[in-house]
Chains A and B, each alone.
Chain A
Amino acid sequence: MVDQVAILGVGMHPWGKWGKNFVEYGVKAAEDALKDAGVAWTDIQYVAGGDTIRNGYPGYVAGATFVQALGWNGAQISSSYGACASGTQAIESARMRILAGLCDVALVVGSDTTPKGFLAPNKGTRGDDPDWLRFRVLGATNTTYFGLYARRRMDVYGATSEDFAQVKVKNSRHGLSNLNARYRKEVSADEVLSSAMVANPLRLLDICATSDGAAALVLCSMEFARRFTTNPVTIAGIASVTPVYPSTTIEMPNFSTDSAAAVPAPIRGFRDSIAYTAYEQAGIAPDEVNVAEVYDLSTALELDWYENIGLCQPGDAQKLLRDGDTTIGGRVPVNPSGGLACFGEAVPAQAIAQVCELTWQLRGQAGARQVQGAKVGITANQGLFGHGSSVIVKR
């Protein structure tokens, strides 16, 4: 077990398509997190920014961009990019700084403005970039990979399109009262099953949108936190692992898996290893988890995560869903925020938003979507090119 850091404040800018600069969203989320913590901006000693690649140079240097917008305060900074795992890397950067004793209180901010439609590679011809080549040669979008996993689950484990639709139904109900969610409307299974086919077997309503949004955390040492609260939510574990060779599941944006011809595949596949690492670090077992926020880029992918984070055995995820275990009121609710189904993805903000939600849940401040008595929560997520991302929080 490693030492903990406290989550003193959380804040978000609502997800949507607002047509504004990402800095404005990030500032709003930061202001809310600072207010929630009761800490003045000028007292923040370290700022960790989650980078966005779509918003030009200010996005690449998110740490400094947010410090400038909030007013130069001399804080030390970092800017992290790990695709969808960028937020976790920013959180980890701040946590390490605090645990090393190099600062007492830090601000983590991730924010994005995203285009409509499929996420696509940057412009230009780049014949040595697998992310460019997979579009050029295969026409393989991100949803292609989600479709492959979904079909595999159907043909191997007997999941159905109805199961996938029920994930959306559940998450749309969870997110109804969440004012930070972009989509707050109940969705029926019929609506999902009659929406346009995008990446067979996944339909439009199985796949998350891309959104504008921002999320921020104020993290601090346990000693610093004692000035403000006797019972803070804490971070008990963070995984930012890469795969172990040979990684034998096809992963975005690759053309192939590693080969297991010379070296046998590891005991745990990449996605299993993400949560496992966080559990080990936290000294917490999967059966102690009360609530989870996982990356439902697609409905089917949420089911994969149930197994990857140890909520059930491989192949049993759809049973867990059908039994209502992962619905609020069930044994271990998943995505009480409404998940990406209700938010859409704002890449560098999303992993931070997951931690915001768990913090509200563990404080008992989640209102109509409250998971009763939640003491331990886990997030799980994965970024393009092999970025694992999981955060375990407890109170």
Chain B
Amino acid sequence: MKKRIPAVEGWLNIDPAHPRLIGTKCSDCGSIFFPRETVRCRNPRCGSSRLEATELSSRGTLWSYTGAEYKPPEPYVPRTDPFQPFAIAAVELAAEKMVILGQVDGVGVEGLKVGMEMELTLDTLLEDDETETITWKWKPVSVRENA
């Protein structure tokens, strides 16, 4: 069994039963940040240093999306040779009132529409003999329900 590590330490919970992005919540003003903030709340009228890790909602609505039809340059590491196009989604979380990017799992751009409900999943970003690097992706809720 390979060792599983997150794509960026501290950015996501890679428990397959509980995939979550981990952001920061300001204990003083309630502002939420992703990626995490460790020094100072970026609400300019707050500036508190009382920042706590917080798991973000795992569902949201599709704000927009695009397709990467050409292989991105380094430091991107393609998973397949030849390169397989993939979709990237911008998903709006209702409670956090923010939009977060992620690659799309399960469907290409033809399966997406602004306003769709999306959920967070985990997938392999990189792999070598010892470790599997895990990243987050967005997947239409309808894909799972139809499966």
Residues of A within 8 A of B (CB): 117-118, 120-121, 123, 125, 127, 130, 132-141, 143-144, 147-152, 155-156, 196-202, 245-246, 248, 250, 254-263
Contact = CB atoms under 8 A, between A and B. Distances in A.
Given A136-B77, A140-B72, A250-B90, 12 more contacts: A125-B75, A135-B72, A139-B103, A148-B63, A148-B64, A152-B64, A199-B69, A254-B101, A256-B98, A259-B98, A261-B96, A263-B29
Contact of B73 (A120, A254, A256): A120
A149 B98 CA distance: 16
B138 to A, nearest CB: 11
Contacts of A261: 30-32, 95-98
Contacts of A255: 34-35, 100-101
Contact of A135 (B73, B96, B113): B73
Contact of A196 (B42, B68, B69, B86): B69
B135 to A, nearest CB: 6
A12 to B, nearest CB: 29
Interface residues of B, number: 47
B66 A117 contact: no
Interface in B85-140: 86-88, 90, 95-103, 109, 113-115, 125, 135
B147 interface: no
Contact of B72 (A139, A147, A200): A139
Interface in B13-61: 26, 29-35, 42-45
A259 B66 contact: no
A118 B31 CA distance: 35
A139 B74 contact: no
Interface of B: 7-8, 26, 29-35, 42-45, 63-70, 72-77, 86-88, 90, 95-103, 109, 113-115, 125, 135
A47 B141 CA distance: 57
10 contacts: A120-B74, A138-B101, A140-B68, A140-B101, A141-B68, A149-B64, A200-B67, A200-B69, A200-B87, A261-B96
A127 B8 contact: yes
Nearest to B35: A255
A198 B125 CA distance: 22
Contacts of A155: 64, 113-115
Nearest to B77: A136
B70 to A, nearest CB: 6
B26, B75, B99: residue with the most chain A Cβ atoms closer than 10 Å? B75
A135 B74 contact: yes
Given A256-B99, A261-B30, A245 B44 contact: yes
A121 B63 CA distance: 26
Contacts of B76: 135-136, 139
Contact of A245 (B43, B65, B73): B43
Contacts of A147: 66-67, 88
Given A139-B76, A250-B90, A144 B66 contact: yes
B73 A117 contact: yes
A256 B102 CA distance: 9
Nearest to A145: B66
B45, B65, B87, B101: residue with the most chain A Cβ atoms closer than 10 Å? B101
Contacts of A150: 66
Nearest to A200: B67
Nearest to B69: A197
A135 B103 CA distance: 11
Nearest to A151: B64
A247 to B, nearest CB: 10
Nearest to B135: A137
B3 to A, nearest CB: 18
A150, A200, A202, A258: residue with the most chain B Cβ atoms closer than 10 Å? A200
B114 to A, nearest CB: 4
A121 B101 contact: no
B133 to A, nearest CB: 9
B99 A138 contact: no
A256 B65 contact: no
Given A135-B76, A259-B33, A248 B69 contact: no
